[in-house]
């Protein structure tokens, strides 16, 4: 289907070594065999891959093939986390407000100054997906023409993650995962998108932290 176009592979770090081998062969030979078929089919496509993990570290750990890494790493674009580019937050908020207001067939609400300050001060561990989820939820629970801090799910948090002194990393991660699960009604697919991880990783963390 992507012959002559582009294939985008998200979360490339999470594929198994066997799939990595198959993918490497396709990238090198530029041909595939359809499921259930016997004939090889030539393909010509651009491959774009994304991950929120450091592939260099996975190569050293032996969980990611070095030959596939170098095949994919022809040109790299590193996107800093949202907390390191806070100037983008207001632009993204404006975009998401228009997007969800149109979907809900309602006027685009304004943002109060305290609400904007809250959004800019929050560390956004779930990056853009978490911000998008927060804006969508705010429009769902508030029908007012102006959104206040009370419309956002994290406004009741005792403290941002970076100020939780005295807590272990596991404690902080467990609390954050539980908070996101509660906000998404324990919808694992949606929670995984907000946390920017796949469902398998989320399920493993639920077992690790005893969250049900």
pLDDT in tens, 75-91: 999 888 888 898 999 99
Give me the residues paired with residue 60 across strands: none
Beta 146-147 vs 110-111: how paired, if at all?
parallel
Same domain for 96 and 65: no
Provide the mean pLDDT of the chain: 87
Greater confidence (182 vs 14) lies with 14
Same domain for 21 and 67: yes
The pLDDT, as a whole number, for residue 163 is 46
Question: Is the per-residue pLDDT at 46 higher than 90?
Answer: yes
The pLDDT, as a whole number, for residue 167 is 60
Distances (CA, A) of 83 to 45, 99, 165, 192: 34, 22, 19, 19
CATH number of the domain enclosing 151? 1.10.8.60
Task: In whole angstroms, give the CA distance from residue 79 to residue 199.
Answer: 23
Same domain for 148 and 172: no
Greater confidence (203 vs 109) lies with 109
| Average pLDDT over every residue of 7-22 | 93
Task: In whole angstroms, give the CA distance from residue 111 to residue 154.
Answer: 16
Residue 79 lies in a domain: no
**What global pTM score does this model have?**
0.56
Same domain for 32 and 92: no
pLDDT tens figures, 118-136: 998 888 888 898 899 899 9
Question: Is the per-residue pLDDT at 26 higher than 50?
Answer: yes
Segments forming the whole domain that contains residue 31: 6-72
The pLDDT, as a whole number, for residue 166 is 47
Domain count, the chain: 3
Same domain for 202 and 139: no
Q: pLDDT grade, residue 185 (50/70/90)?
A: confident
């Amino acid at each position: 289907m992507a012959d002559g176009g582009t294939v985008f592979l998200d979360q490339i770090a999470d594929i198994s070594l066997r799939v990595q081998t198959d993918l490497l062969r396709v990238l090198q030979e530029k041909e595939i065999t359809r499921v259930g078929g016997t004939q090889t089919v030539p393909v010509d496509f651009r491959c774009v891959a994304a991950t929120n993990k450091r592939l260099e570290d996975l190569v050293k750990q032996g969980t990611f093939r070095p030959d596939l890494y170098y095949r994919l790493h022809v040109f790299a674009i590193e996107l800093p986390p949202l907390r390191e580019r806070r100037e983008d937050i207001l632009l993204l908020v404006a975009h998401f407000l228009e997007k969800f207001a149109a979907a809900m067939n309602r006027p685009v609400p304004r943002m109060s100054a305290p609400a904007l300050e809250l959004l800019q001060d929050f560390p956004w561990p779930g990056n853009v997906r978490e911000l998008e989820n927060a804006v969508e939820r705010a429009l769902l629970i508030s029908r007012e023409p102006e959104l206040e801090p009370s419309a956002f799910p994290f406004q009741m948090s005792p403290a941002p993650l970076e100020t939780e002194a005295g807590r272990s990393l596991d404690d902080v991660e467990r609390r954050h995962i539980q908070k996101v699960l509660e906000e998404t009604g324990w919808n694992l697919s949606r929670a995984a998108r907000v946390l920017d991880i796949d469902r398998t990783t989320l399920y493993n963390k639920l077992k690790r932290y005893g969250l049900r």
